[in-house]
């Protein structure tokens, strides 16, 4: 969801953008890598031809996932383009299992696009870390979050503009901008890394190790998961069947 504010050029969004821009990933990649340990060069022809995995290969992939033989899941690559508020990227980069390149506020003037939580976004944290849940806020709290976020964002961007107009360097002027300003980046990872990311950044019933992600990074993770499951359906099914634990 995106909308313009009364202030010229200011835009507020309540969503994130995730696009798969390049991939070399299939279930067959897992199988070639696993079978080379017993078949050696006999796997070369099938690997070179890019032979697709069949339903008969499901058992091997499930075995690898269940017994956590993880390295065969690394011989693939997916590159995503992500637009999200900066505080989401800071959580992304806690995962040192991917390659990142983000737009720079030193080299370009940042666009006035800011995140504001949608009305349905839960606002109340109940319980203690590790055993808590988020619940909807009151209408008054929803209104307070929306109004305060918009006001602070507008004031911060106006301060940023004043410094730029006065000739202050972009790398200095940007220090007044809030964490809810949008940025963009490319992130590249393999399926094993992505499964680790999804296990921590999505909340699902029946997982072996429950997670409590912030909703905004979960929104990114959900879109990445949707793209991945189309590429590697057997691996995806095994991941879910085994409690969504990265091998």
The verdict on whether 201 is a catalytic residue reads yes
- Position 98 confidence tier, pLDDT thresholds 50, 70, 90: very high
Helix (H, G, I), strand (E, B) or coil at 179: coil
pLDDT, tens digit, 9 for 90 and up, residues 206-215: 899 988 899 9
Looking at residue 47, its pLDDT comes to 57
Structure confidence at residue 4 as a pLDDT band (50, 70, 90): low
Q: Check 121, 201, 215, 229 and give the catalytic one.
A: 201
pLDDT over 70 at 48, yes or no:
no
Q: Which residue has the tokens 């349905």?
A: 120
pLDDT value, residue 210:
87
Residue 150, helix vs strand vs coil: helix
The per-residue pLDDT of the chain, averaged, comes to 91
The CA-atom distances, in angstroms, between 192 and each of 62, 122, 140, 189 are 14, 31, 43, 8
Using alpha carbons, select from 44, 35, 86 the residue that is nearest to residue 64. 35
Q: pLDDT tier at 39 (50, 70, 90 boundaries)?
A: low
Beta carbons within 8 Å of 26's beta carbon, 6+ residues apart: 50, 52, 53, 76, 231, 232
Separation CA 148–CA 41 (nearest Å):
63
């Amino acid at each position: 969801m995106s909308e313009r504010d009364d202030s010229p050029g200011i835009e507020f969004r309540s969503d994130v953008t995730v696009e798969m821009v390049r991939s070399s990933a299939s279930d067959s990649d897992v199988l070639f890598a696993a079978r080379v340990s017993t078949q050696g060069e006999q796997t070369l022809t099938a690997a070179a031809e890019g032979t697709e995995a069949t339903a008969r290969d499901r058992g091997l992939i499930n075995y690898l996932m269940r017994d956590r033989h993880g390295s065969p899941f690394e011989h693939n690559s997916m590159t995503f383009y992500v637009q999200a508020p900066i505080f989401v990227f800071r959580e992304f980069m806690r995962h040192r299992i991917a390659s990142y390149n983000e737009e720079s506020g030193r080299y370009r003037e940042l666009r006035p696009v800011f995140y504001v939580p949608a009305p349905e976004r839960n606002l109340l944290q109940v319980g203690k870390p590790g055993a808590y849940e988020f619940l909807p806020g009151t209408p008054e709290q929803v209104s307070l979050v929306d109004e305060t976020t918009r006001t602070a964002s507008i004031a911060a961007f106006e301060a940023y503009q004043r410094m730029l107009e006065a000739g202050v360097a972009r790398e200095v002027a940007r220090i007044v901008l809030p964490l809810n300003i949008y940025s963009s980046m490319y992130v590249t990872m393999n399926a094993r890394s992505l499964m680790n990311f999804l296990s921590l950044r999505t909340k699902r019933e029946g997982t072996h190790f429950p997670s409590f992600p912030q909703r905004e990074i979960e929104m990114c993770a959900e879109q990445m998961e949707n793209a991945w499951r189309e590429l590697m359906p057997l691996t995806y099914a095994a991941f879910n069947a085994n409690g969504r634990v990265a091998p």
